Each structure stands twice: as structure tokens, then as C-alpha cells.
Amino acid sequence: MRFRWTYFGISVVAATAMAISVANAQLPTAAMPFGPNALVFDPSIPVADMQGQIDRIYAEQQHAEFGPGRYAILLRPGDYKLNIPIGFYTQVLGLGGSPDDVHIEGDVHVDAASRNDNATTTFWRSAEGFSVTPPGGTMQWAVSQAVAFRRMHVLGNMVLNQKRGWASGGWMADTIVDGKVDSGTQQQWISRNTEWKGWTGANWNMVFVGVDNPPAGDWPEPPYTKLTSTPVIREKPFLIAEKQSYSIVVPALRRSTTGVTWHKGKTPGKHIPLSHFYIASALRDTAATINMALRTGKDLLLTPGTYDLKEPIHLTRKGTVVFGLGFATLRPVSGEAAMMIDDVDGVTVSTVLIDAGPVRSPQLLVVGAPGSKARHIANPITLSDVFFRVGGAGVGKAGADLVINSNDTLVDQTWIWRADHGAGVGWTENLSDNGLIVNGNDVTIYGLFVEHHQQYQVLWNGERGRTYFYQSEIPYDPPTQDVWSSGSGVNGWASYKVSDEVKNHEAWGLGVYSVFRKPNVTLSRAFEVPETPAVRFHHMITVALDNLGEIKHVINDQGETTATGAQRRTPKVAEFPAP
């Protein structure tokens, strides 16, 4: 039989729930492999039926920044004529081996989530694994943090904002755009292993890694950071439909690459049949039932929903795959971690949002044990589109959000966010000391977004770390300078701290921004690093975004002071140490 669309789940909108119930009344169980809040579309389905389901989801999710809905829209290979607006916590996936196996003729778009075309809160959504021919020739992708655009083929142009309104993205990887990309008002952006006819636009910090046609010009005017090749990467796992079955592809590890993985039609990698996955549901599963399945050797597919966890999900087996759909959300509720990964080869975790619970967790995700010595050069642990949130949807508390102890770990886009707005937000309410702590050696991160934590946003203790693109706002809400200081005579906590003992570290394309809400609060330096020849930082900028406070120096005692109002300055340091 042909697989047809499925959409069944719990909606906060009564009309949506009623429509879902009616629509699914006759669906066979075999057509529902991915559980609640998942749709599977097939080209044989009437367009009006598919469009109706898409519109119902968007009506619920368009403004649901902290809402409970989690959705995945899955497109089996073929051609579609659809209009797909993508709202909060919505993932749209093509199920072909190549993005060109699934083609949409129509408007796939992300609109600004706030008034006045403001996309600075347009978070938590993705488009992956299909091709699109946009009406009028241009696809609008007005986004900010925690948004993935992967394995895509745009048969036209792209614009990364809405009518020149503010935007604070963003991320693009393993993608071809036949025309030009207009970044416009985007404050910062990272493109990795992408191809296009051209790129226009620059603001504060634009990073291009493994891009075969990067734009002309160099830092600081325009603020372009360009690296010819990507040193080491495993692309994010993806789901494919094969006749009546499904598989998840874990792409092969690649080194020194430029451009996309799928020029020959398919991305090289290991195919794992869906039968090898435990398909978890937030309506029935606990950490205990998930861990039981993992102990039998199963991989894990998390269907859309929020999983309240009384103990960590524990990954102990080499090569375990955790595949999230629809921004599946893990929320620890008993003061423990949401997930722990043993120091083993080849674990991959993708498309998961970890949301701190009301009882303080010392860590939210731990990769490897403290003091890990094993090397994973040939088969590293990889985190792709793993995001963190403390507060916003409710009170959340954590010590450190992500702790990496394992050597050679790869992180391919993360946003580690202590909320600055929403519910349960305040200096004494949503508590989080650090966003990221790296203790392992040879850890590589592409697309590191870390914001508003109460001490160091990033604390890097391991050797030979590499960061390609960094975006950080320091906390808005320190009430006084006295309570926000990392040491005698130091105002605040540096955003990015490399420990004094580290001998080798390198980072490219970094921006740190301040939005202080209380008077007489300042930051001494954005970056604090040991002054040794093999600790090297390239292309840094600081900006004061409001009318209070300042950042005194960019890195250590170098770089001018930010200024606000009519005297606004955006200090830059091209190289540290200076050549």
C-alpha cells in the first residue's frame, strides 16, 4: 500500500484537534510509523488535504514561541505544489536520498515572528532534504537562532530577512542555491559546505567554511571570515523512505571538504533500518523505558513532543544514534541531566531541544566522563542541531548546560540559551552558570551560539579546540556590578574564556554583544585567553546594543571600548596575538 499523510496528536486548538480526529479516523496503523504530531505526505494525496493540514499546524505554531506543540512534516519522494509556512517547533523533511528526490513548487518560507518584520525571535524550526522552486524566484528565510537549513536545493534566490527587518541568524549547511543569497539585515551568519551563484550583504560577522564561491572582500570591511575547506565533519543524519520501509542515514566522516555531499545523487553513509530504532513517544515513554530499549542495542527515534525525565537518557553503546523529530524536547524534572553519553566511538545526537527543569540540574547534557582519555579521531561523537534552553517556557535551573569531556567531539550548530524573555525569567529565577564547558581535547564546533548565562558563556579547558563562528549576548539582567564579577578588579565574566593552562586553541569569526538593563554594570573584556603563540583568535567584534553599560576591551586588554547612543562604536580586533 502507499503511505499516506498522517497527523494525529494533541493540539491546544480545539478546532485543530477535531479536524485531526476526523482526518485520521480511517488511517491504518501501518501508515503511522512516527507517532503523535507527525505527518507523512505522498504526492498522490489531494493537494487540498495536505494544504489543510499544513495550515492548521501553522495556525497553532505561528506565534507559539513557548507553546507545547511539536511537529514534523515528512515528504516522501515526488513533486508537490504546496505553500509551507514554517512556524515554531516545526521541522519539514524531504525523505529522499538526494534533496532533488523531493521537489516543491511553491512558497516554503519563514516569516518574522515579531512585529515590524522583526525576526530576532524567530527560533526553533528547520527545512531539510528537499528542493524548492519559489514563486517569483526568491525564497524568504527570515530567521534567527536554532534554525536549520540543511541538504537543501533552492532553484532560485534566497533572502534571509523580511522586508529588511531585523534578523539575528543563522545557519546553512550542505546546501545549493542556484541563484544569489541576500543576507540583508542579518547581524551574523555561518554557511558551511554550501554552493551558490553569489552572496550579498554583510553586517557584523559572516563566516564561510568550505564554501566554493564565497563573496569577495575580507575582514573587517566587509566583515567576512572565509576558510577554504571544512577540516572535519559528519553531516547530520537524515531519514529516507524506501518503497514501504524507512531508513536513517548516518553520513560518513569527511575531511578537508568544500561544497555539498550529494553531487553524485546521494550522500555517502551508513543506512540503518527503522526497525533498529526504538520509536519513543512523549505520551507513554519515560527515561526508564527508553534506557531499557537502549540496553537491548536499539537506536532511538524521539517523536515530536516533550519528554519529562526523572533520570538521564544514558547512551552507552558505540555508534548509538539518537534521531529527534519535530524538535523533540527533553526536560529533566528531578535535578539530574537530561542525557549522558559514555566515552565511546561514533554516537550521534540530532534535532533535540533540552529544556532545563525547575529543579537545578548540575549539567543538562554530558559527553564522556571527567578525565576521559580515549581518542575518537576516526569516529567522533557528533551533536547536530542540539539546542538548550533555561527558562522562557517556565522556570529552569542548571549549572552548566553542555559539558564535553570526550576527545575529538564534533558539534555542528548549537544554541545554548538562558532566556531573556518569557516565563520564569529573572536573575534569581532562571539560573545557569555556564552555557558550555569543554574539557576534552581536539573538540571542533561549527556554529556556536551561547547567550545570557550568569558566569562564563563558554569555558574551554581542553587543548587544541577549534570554533568556527561564535555569537553571544552576555546576560541582560545582572542587578549590580558587585554580584557580577569573576574576580578582584574584573567587571563581569568574559563571554568566551580559554583557561590559563591551555597552550593551543583557535577560533574564527566571533561576535559578543551587550544589552544591559541596569545602570553601572559593565564588562571588562569579551574574550579572556592566555597569551601564548598557539592560542589564536581571528576576526572579533563587540557591540553595545542598548543605551546602558559598555564592553571595555574586545580580547584581554586589546580592542577599544564599545559606546552607546550617538557615540556608538563596534570595536573590532582582526588578529590575536597581533601578527
3-state secondary structure of 321: strand
Half-sphere exposure of 547 (CA within 13 A, CB side): 2
Where on the phi/psi map is residue 314: left (φ > 0), alpha (ψ -120 to 50), or beta? beta
- Check the CA dihedral 367-478-447-440 and report its sign: negative
pLDDT in tens, 398-430: 999 999 999 999 999 999 999 999 999 999 999
- Phi, psi for 155 (deg, rounded to 5): -90, 70
Q: What is the DSSP string of 28-89?
A: -GGG-TT-TTEEEE-TTS-HHHHHHHHHHHHHHHTT-TT-S--EEEEE-SEEE---EE--TT
- CA-to-CA distance for 41 and 31, rounded, in angstroms? 10
Q: Which residues contact 489 (CB under 8 A, 6 or more apart)?
A: none
- CA-to-CA distance for 396 and 369, rounded, in angstroms? 24
- The domain spans of the chain are 14-228, 312-576
- CA-to-CA distance for 350 and 190, rounded, in angstroms? 19
- Single out the residue of 163, 200, 164 nearest to residue 179, CA to CA: 200
Position 7 scores a pLDDT of 31
Which three cell numbers, joined as nine digits, stand for 252? 560518513
The architecture of the domain spanning 14-228 is 3 Solenoid (2.160)
Entry pTM = 0.95
- Single out the residue of 284, 272, 278 nearest to residue 302, CA to CA: 278
C-alpha distance from residue 49 to each of 7, 55, 459 (Å): 11, 10, 50
Q: What is the chain's pLDDT, residue by residue, as a tens digit (579 residues)? A: 222 233 333 333 333 333 333 334 333 333 458 987 999 999 999 999 999 999 999 999 999 999 999 999 999 999 999 999 999 999 999 999 999 999 999 999 999 999 999 999 999 999 999 999 999 999 999 999 999 999 999 999 999 999 999 999 899 999 999 999 999 999 999 999 999 999 999 999 999 999 999 999 999 999 999 999 999 999 999 999 988 899 999 999 999 999 999 998 999 999 999 999 999 999 999 999 999 999 999 999 999 999 999 999 999 999 999 999 999 999 999 999 999 999 999 999 999 999 999 999 999 999 999 999 999 999 999 999 999 999 999 999 999 999 999 999 999 999 999 999 999 999 999 999 999 999 999 999 999 999 999 999 999 999 999 999 999 999 999 999 999 999 999 999 999 999 999 999 999 999 999 999 999 999 999 999 999 999 999 999 999 988 899 999 999 999 999 976 656 679 999 999 999
Query: Among all chains, which residue has been given the C-alpha cell 558539534?
Result: 411
- Check the CA dihedral 120-127-65-419 and report its sign: negative
Position 137 scores a pLDDT of 98
Position 535 scores a pLDDT of 98
The residues assigned a catalytic role are 473
Which three cell numbers, joined as nine digits, stand for 215? 563573496
Torsion of Cα atoms, 348 then 349 then 351 then 352, to 10°: 180
